[in-house]
Amino acid sequence: MQVSDEELYRQMKNGNQDAFAALYERREPGLYRFALHMSGSPSIAEEVSHEVFVQLMGPAARFDETRGSLESFLYGIARNLVRGVRRQGPVAEPVDSAFEPDILGEIIGNETTAALHRALRELPDRYRDVIVLCDLEERSYEDVAKIIGRPVGTVRSRLHRARALLAAKLKRLTAPSEVFTA
Amino acid sequence: MTCKEAVVEVVECARRRDNRADRGIHTEPGRDLRAHLAICGACSERWEAERQLTAHLGTIRQQTAALHLASPASRREALVRDFARMQPSLPGRPARMRYGGWALAAAAGLVFAIALGRQAGLSGRESAIRTGQAVRMEPAVLYESNSLSSDASALSSDDFVAIPYTPPLAPGEMVRIVRGDLYPEALAGMGVEIDLLAWSKAANVPVEMIVGEDGIPRAVRITESNSY
């Protein structure tokens, strides 16, 4: 039976190096993907997924089991870190776009889908958060509510609004081909 | 069923289709929704758009699922080493190294704090200090300690509280003291001991921050007033 994240965290807090390594191996890839979807930058994603664990092992990390899962807690840290990086703003982004390959663009073969992913990154933070967490990371409304610190109803309404924005974008993306085929 | 109710159902139904597709369970719109879609062009169009959006998001999810299945071993090992270093009773590390590193970092912090205090006293709203000249911060101390907490301690003084998890200052890097206001919760998040209840009715807390050339604050302290 797999040891829970929370149990690994308890062992880690008692100085168990193996527990920390196990937690890192288990959760870091997902956090990387989350940060990649949020930022579009592999280097930011790598830094963020690493920094989450730096914070977790530091004295300032205050995980409270009664308030949610450790996984949600880690996603919450990652979300805040990505937002922090984005707030630092226009200095970092051109560098990313100039020197980093569009890794997602290369992986996502379909042009429309890749364009949709770029559109996702242009959404306001509050909408992008919920699309990435609910629809790409497949987390429940309850989990997402804990991660972003908002009620479940807010998560749901933001998701619906975000999807409406993306659906409109998708319609524009597919419109030219429709004109051709008509 | 109204259009407002229908749109909510359309979104949820489209999302359920995607989530259950892997298990071979397809959720079709219920009878009420189907009836509404048959007579409402706008909702019918939205249903089609949501289905397409769900398909594209599913593609993104599937195609990125195999990305970065594991972090590079070197990064993982470096992090685990840092974790081990932070443990107080880790075997195999000479105690004098740990305490020596802390003592040097504390000494550097004291020199830094004194220099900052003098500079802050001489300047007005904002001052600039070249750390390599005015402060004599020993980079060797910071690198030797090789941990975030010791970097932070080098910036701590009686007044200033080092903000954890910020990158260390480079030798010769210019720092500024910037005055401003912060929410009490933000200060607490930076590790400043603050009575949140006492400050809850005040809008913001007047602070001074040591800010590096990269614009990232490294240390913060509460000031007496916000008259600047």
Query: DSSP per residue over B157-171, as a string?
Result: -SS-EEPTT-PPPPT
Mean pLDDT across the stretch A77-82? 90
pLDDT value at position B112? 63
pLDDT value at position B79? 83
Residue B103 has pLDDT above 90, yes or no: no
Answer whether A46 sits within 8 Å of B76, measured CB to CB: no
Q: Which residues of A touch B187 (CB under 8 A)?
A: none
Answer whether A57 sits within 8 Å of B82, measured CB to CB: yes
Q: Nearest Cβ partner of A113 from B56, B65, B68?
A: B56
pLDDT value at position B153? 47
Answer whether A24 sits within 8 Å of B82, measured CB to CB: no
Q: Nearest Cβ partner of A108 from B8, B18, B59?
A: B59
B148: buried, middle or exposed (CB in 10 Å: 19+, 13-18, 0-12)? buried
For B209, the token pair is 């921050």
- Closest by CA to B148, choosing from B130, B169, B129, B133, is B169
pLDDT tens, A141-182?
998 998 888 899 999 999 999 999 998 888 887 776 554 544
- Cα separation of A176 and A66, whole Å? 52
Task: Tell me the shortest Cα–Cα distance from A135 to chain B, in angstroms.
Answer: 7
Whether residue A171 contacts residue B49, with contact meaning beta carbons closer than 8 Å, is answered with yes
Residue A3 has pLDDT above 90, yes or no: no
Residue A35 has pLDDT above 60, yes or no: yes
pLDDT value at position A52? 92
pLDDT higher at A120 or B90: A120
Residues 6+ apart with CB under 8 A from B170: B139
pLDDT tens, A103-131?
666 666 667 777 888 888 888 888 999 99
Q: Nearest Cβ partner of B84 from A17, A55, A112?
A: A17
For A116, the token pair is 């949709």
Mean pLDDT across the stretch B83-87? 78
CB atoms < 10 A from the CB of B116, how many? 25
Q: Report the amino acid identity of residue B107.
A: A
pLDDT value at position B105? 59
pLDDT value at position B4? 83
pLDDT value at position B224? 67
Task: Tell me the shortest Cα–Cα distance from B61 to chain A, in angstroms.
Answer: 5
CA dihedral (B198, B203, B207, B209) in degrees, to 10, reads 120
φ, ψ of residue B193 in degrees (nearest 5)? -75, 115
Residue B20 has pLDDT above 50, yes or no: no
The overall average pLDDT reported for chain B is 66
For A64, the token pair is 């409270």
Task: Tell me the shortest Cα–Cα distance from A129 to chain B, in angstroms.
Answer: 14
State the sign of the Cα–Cα–Cα–Cα dihedral A114, A119, A121, A125.
negative
User: pLDDT exceeding 90 applies to what percent of chain A?
Assistant: 22
Answer whether B71 sits within 8 Å of A24, measured CB to CB: yes
Residue B188 has pLDDT above 90, yes or no: no
pLDDT tens, B143-177?
333 333 334 444 455 577 888 777 777 666 677 78
Q: Which residues of B touch A36 (CB under 8 A)?
A: 64, 67-68
pLDDT value at position A113? 79
Residue B39 has pLDDT above 70, yes or no: yes
| B71: nearest CA partner in chain A | A29
Give ipTM to 2 decimals.
0.78
Answer whether B68 sits within 8 Å of A33, measured CB to CB: yes
Task: Tell me the shortest Cα–Cα distance from A99 to chain B, in angstroms.
Answer: 20
Q: Report the amino acid identity of residue A122.
A: E
pLDDT value at position B158? 57
Q: Nearest Cβ partner of B57 from A17, A33, A135?
A: A135
| A166: nearest CA partner in chain B | B53
pLDDT value at position A102? 58
CB atoms < 10 A from the CB of A155, how many? 24
